[in-house]
A and B are shown apart, each in its own frame.
Chain A
C-alpha cells in the first residue's frame, strides 16, 4: 500500500484527467437501486452532491437488478420476484413512469412428463446487448442459465448452447457447481462492444466462461484462479468468481473479484494474475464487488469484506474502506474518508457497487443495511446519500 499523494501518482492523475476531458460524459447521474423489498431511483444534482429518492417501484418485490438501456436511455428492465410469486421481468419505456410485464419471462423448457426439470428461481442480472443489436438483452438466472431476448426484454429464450455445455461439465465434475447461499448464480455477462458474439459469463460457483459465437460453444477461462474450497485448488472450472468486470476503454483487460481473491487478466492471455495479494494482509482481498475506471484500464476499485475464520463477509475490523489501484493492481491505496471509522459491519454485494463515466469518476455502493454511499472524486471521499432503504442488491448508473 502507498499513500495517495505521491509525485508519480500526481503526474499520472494529471495525464488521466487530460486524456479524459474529451471523452468524459457530462451531465447528471441517476442511480437505479434494486433492493430486497423494491426498487428506488436516486436523482443526482449536477454536482453529484444532493440526491433525491424516488420510489419505491414494486414495493415488496425482491428486485435483483434494475438496468437502463444505454442504446435509447429510455428503456429500463427490472428483474423481480416475491416471496410467493415466481420470477419475472418488468419493462418500462418511459424511464420508470409506467411498467409492463414481460410477455414470456425467462424460463427453462418444459421437460417430458415424469422427469424432474429445472425452474428459474430468480432472474439475477440483466445486460443490454451490443450497440449494433438494438432490442437484444441477456439475462443470468438462478439456477445457472443464460437467457436472451431480441425484443427489448418482452420475451426470453434459454441459450441452449450454454446449458448443454454446463451439463457436459457437470458430468466431468458434479461437485464443482455448488450453489451459494443466494443460489447457483449466473452473473457478470460481458458483451464485447467490438463483437456482439463474444461474451464472458460467470457462475457462482462454476467459474468464468467465454463464447465467440453468441453462446453456441463455450470454453472455461479460469487458469490461475484459486478454488481453495475444492480438493484441487486449481481446477479447470469450479471457481467462484463473485464479480467480473472489464475496462470499457480496453475490453481485453478483465478484472475479477473472486471468493479467493482479486485477479487481472489481459487477453488474449488466458492466465489470471492474483493482484489482490498486494492489498494489506490485515484487510485481505476477499469481497464481492469490483469496478473499473471507464477510461483508464489500470484503475480499479474493490471493497474488501472480512474473509477470515468463519467468513463474516463484513467490513474488515468494522472499518469500511475502498481500495483503489492506479496501476493494474500492483499497488493499492486505502480510501476511507467519510466512512465510519469504527463499528460499521455492513456488506456490499456483487452487483451493489458501480461507477459512472463522469470526470472525475463517481463511485457508488449500496449496503445490506440499506445505505447508499457515493464518491464524486474517484473514491477519495465518501458521503452517505441514502439510508433506511431495504437490503440493497444492486446499484446501476443512468447518465443523462
Chain B
C-alpha cells in the first residue's frame, strides 16, 4: 500500500535531497522497513534499537500524531516525519 512520506531536512541526506518519497506499508513499522530498504541507514537515525521513535522526532499519519510504530497507515495517507522544536 503506497503512502507519501514527507521528510524534514534532517534526513534528506539519505534520500538524495528529496523532501517527499513513496513507501509501502500498513503500519508505521512497515513503512520504516520499506524506507530503510530504499534509503539504507535512515531508519536507525529515526528509530532506536528498541523500536522507539527517537525523542526529538515527530511522526504524523493522516494528520494524527503517532508515537508508536504500530500506528496503522492507510493507502494514500500522507506520513510526515518532522524534527521537533528542540535543541540550541
Chain A residues at the B interface, C-beta cutoff of 8 Å: 82-86, 88, 101, 103, 105, 107-111, 116-120
Contact = CB atoms under 8 A, between A and B. Distances in A.
B50 A105 contact: no
Interface of B: 10-11, 40-41, 44-52, 54, 56-57, 83-84, 86-87
Given A84-B84, A86-B54, A119 B49 contact: yes
Contacts of A103: 40-41
Contacts of A109: 49
Nearest to B49: A107
A86 B44 contact: yes
Q: Which of B47, B51, B52, B54 has the most CB of A within 10 A?
A: B54
Contacts, number: 52
Nearest to A118: B50
Given A82-B10, A83-B86, A83-B87, A88 B50 contact: no
B44 to A, nearest CB: 6
At the interface, is chain A mostly helix, strand, loop or mixed? loop
21 contacts: A83-B83, A83-B87, A84-B56, A84-B83, A85-B10, A85-B11, A85-B54, A85-B57, A86-B44, A88-B41, A101-B41, A103-B41, A105-B44, A107-B44, A107-B49, A116-B50, A117-B50, A118-B50, A119-B50, A120-B48, A120-B49
A1 to B, nearest CB: 41
A84 B57 contact: yes
Interface of B is mostly: loop
Contact of A84 (B10, B41, B47, B49): B10
Contact of B49 (A82, A83, A101, A110): A110
A334 to B, nearest CB: 36
Contacts of A118: 50
Contacts of A85: 10-11, 45-46, 54, 57
A201 to B, nearest CB: 21
Given A82-B10, A120-B49, 17 more contacts: A83-B83, A83-B86, A84-B54, A84-B56, A84-B87, A85-B11, A86-B46, A88-B44, A88-B45, A105-B44, A107-B44, A108-B50, A110-B50, A110-B51, A117-B49, A117-B50, A119-B48
Contacts of A117: 49-50
Query: Among A83, A111, A116, which residue has the most Cβ atoms of chain B within 10 A?
Result: A83
Nearest to B83: A84
Contacts of B48: 86, 107, 119-120
B45 A86 contact: yes
A307 to B, nearest CB: 27
B29 to A, nearest CB: 12
Nearest to A104: B44
A111 B50 CA distance: 7
